[in-house]
Amino acid sequence: MTNQDTAAAQPAISCRGVWQVFGADAKSKLADALDRSGTKSGGDSDVAAQILREDGLIPAVQDATFDVMPGELFVIMGLSGSGKSTIVRCISQLLQATSGEILVDGENLVEASKSRLIELRRRKLGMVFQHFGLFPHMTALENVAFPLKMQGQNKPDRLARAMEVINLVGLEGRENSYPREMSGGQRQRVGIARSLAVNPDIWFLDEPFSALDPLIRRQLQDEFINIQATLKKSIVFITHDITEALKIADRIAIMRDGKIVQIGTPTEIVLNPVDDYVREFSKDVAKGRHARVASVMRALTADDKTPDDPGLRPGMTLEAALARCISLYDPVPVHDETGKMIGVVDPAVLAAALQAEEA
Ligand SMILES: Nc1ncnc2c1ncn2[C@@H]1O[C@H](COP(=O)(O)OP(=O)(O)O)[C@@H](O)[C@H]1O
Ligand SMILES: [Mg+2]
């Protein structure tokens, strides 16, 4: 599920220069602002955004360009109002992007017909929101089976499938409960099961755990990671919680005022934030627990003598690695799982990475 594994594959989602502008005449005003700022010929999209703002419009998504690879868990993080939900609504076609290209498995959704979009939403795209949106007069099982009914499946089939996903999210025994009889965590499990019932390829989750108590939230995150390990969906997951992002993400995109300011692995975001806004997110994060040895590793050179082998692995956290070479000064080798040496780490660099931006 890493980037390397999927580098050659076609992206599950591809956004190219996507803008979502709110306000009157958004489309023509955006076109005008793009012209005047020269954004399309390499000019700064900030200039176009500023022109729009001065004109009273809201550039909720500004020139977003990124890919989500098959099986990747792509997290979008940012403060409230930074445009996270809007970008997901654009991709899932609940909103029509003001400009730009959105491709799903290579298919350009901007050009897709209405019926094709309905089809995609029913079969290919799954969605989970912060507020569960369950039908109060239906049991958990009926709620989960509902999208299958919309697809025209017969009753025995859809109830069997609904039961399957109810078990998957750990709700067996509660299938006949009504939403009002369930806790927040259980209701969100129903929401997750319902979105999984149709077995979507691409899954959008917009702050699905944000309304839950911390303990329940962590429990659902853990189970979510387990579910993803089996299902390997292509996922866009929105959160404003850095701990949640670091825990689950393959890559994280950080949004600020409609703009994606950085895209990187959890390690890159924590160790190399591009600006103070990104740094602010991770300032309370214990870097040693998130960053991996691979991020500070370099190639072996002829000058290196590597006498000591403290047993470092590329996926080991910096914290764990430092504990093993606390008294070493010379570069130490890093071995992969087969025992092959794949690089070296300077203990001083390791220590420095842990201290970086500590204040
Ligand atoms: N339908 C809309 N009409 C006008 N402005 C909107 C609309 N939806 C969102 N916005 C504005 O777009 C910006 C981004 O909102 P949103 O995507 O909901 O942010 P987030 O999900 O990151 O909290 C905000 O300034 C919000 O007020
Ligand atoms: Mg939102």
Going from the first residue of the chain to its last (359 residues), give the mean pLDDT of each consecutive group of 10, the final group possibly shorter: 58 96 96 88 89 96 96 95 95 92 92 88 87 89 94 95 94 95 93 93 93 88 90 94 89 96 89 89 76 85 80 88 83 89 87 63
Which is nearest to 105 in space by CA: 19, 202, 20? 202
Query: Ligand 1 center to residue 78 CA distance, Å?
Result: 13
- Note whether 13 and 67 are within 8 A (CB): yes
The verdict on the CB of residue 85 being under 6 Å from ligand 1 is yes
The verdict on the CB of residue 84 being under 6 Å from ligand 1 is yes
Query: Ligand 2 center to residue 93 CA distance, Å?
Result: 16
Determine whether 62 is exposed, middle or buried from the number of CB atoms within 10 Å of its CB (0-12, 13-18, 19+): buried
Which of helix, strand or coil describes residue 335?
Answer: strand
Query: What is the predicted pLDDT for the residue at 175?
Result: 96
The verdict on the CB of residue 80 being under 6 Å from ligand 1 is yes
Ligand 2 being an ion, which residues bring their Cβ within 5 A of it?
A: 85
Amino acid 357 reads: E
The protein residue whose alpha carbon is closest to atom 26 in ligand 1 is 81
Ligand 1 atom nearest to CA at 61: 14
Which of 25, 85, 86 should be mutated for ligand 1, with most atoms under 8 A from CB?
Answer: 86
Q: Which residue in the block uniquely carries the two structure tokens 């089976």? A: 145
Which of helix, strand or coil describes residue 204?
Answer: strand
Query: What is the predicted pLDDT for the residue at 214?
Result: 87
Q: What is the pLDDT of residues 162-202, one digit of tens each?
A: 999 999 999 999 999 999 999 999 999 999 999 999 999 99
What structural domains and CATH numbers belong to the chain?
3-9+68-124+200-285 (3.40.50.300), 289-355 (3.90.1280.20)
Distances from the Cα of 151 to the Cα of 21, 122, 123, 148, angstroms: 33, 7, 8, 5
Query: What is the predicted pLDDT for the residue at 87?
Result: 96
Structure tokens at 304: 């290196």
Q: What is the pLDDT of residues 254-312, one digit of tens each?
A: 999 999 999 998 888 888 889 999 988 887 777 777 778 888 889 888 888 777 888 99
CA distance 110 to 88: 14
Prediction pTM value: 0.82
Q: Which residue in the block uniquely carries the two structure tokens 């109830």? A: 159
Which of 22, 25, 91, 255 should be mutated for ligand 1, with most atoms under 8 A from CB?
Answer: 22
The verdict on the CB of residue 60 being under 6 Å from ligand 1 is yes
Structure tokens at 299: 């190639």
Structure tokens at 270: 């924590």
The verdict on the CB of residue 115 being under 6 Å from ligand 1 is no
Query: Ligand 2 center to residue 210 CA distance, Å?
Result: 10
The verdict on the CB of residue 90 being under 6 Å from ligand 1 is no
Q: 282-308: b or e for each residue (b if 16 or more CB lie within 10 Å)?
A: beebebbebbbbbbbbeeeeeeeeeeb
Helices 140-150 & 184-197 angle (0-180, nearest 10): 20
- Note whether 340 and 300 are within 8 A (CB): no
- Note whether 84 and 3 are within 8 A (CB): no
Residue 8 burial (CB count, 10 A): 7
CA distance 314 to 75: 23
Query: What is the predicted pLDDT for the residue at 129?
Result: 84
Query: Ligand 2 center to residue 84 CA distance, Å?
Result: 6
The verdict on the CB of residue 248 being under 6 Å from ligand 1 is no
Which of helix, strand or coil describes residue 19?
Answer: strand
Pairing of strands 332-335, 259-264: unpaired
Ligand of minimum distance to the alpha carbon of 23:
1
Query: What is the predicted pLDDT for the residue at 11?
Result: 96
Query: Ligand 2 center to residue 222 CA distance, Å?
Result: 22
Ligand 1 atom nearest to CA at 207: 21
Sign of the torsion formed by the C-alpha atoms of 82, 120, 132 and 243: negative
Distances from the Cα of 85 to the Cα of 127, 205, 211, angstroms: 12, 10, 15
Structure tokens at 268: 């890159």
The protein residue whose alpha carbon is closest to atom 8 in ligand 1 is 86
Q: Half-sphere exposure of residue 64, counting CA atoms within 13 Å on the CB side?
A: 36
Query: What is the predicted pLDDT for the residue at 191?
Result: 93
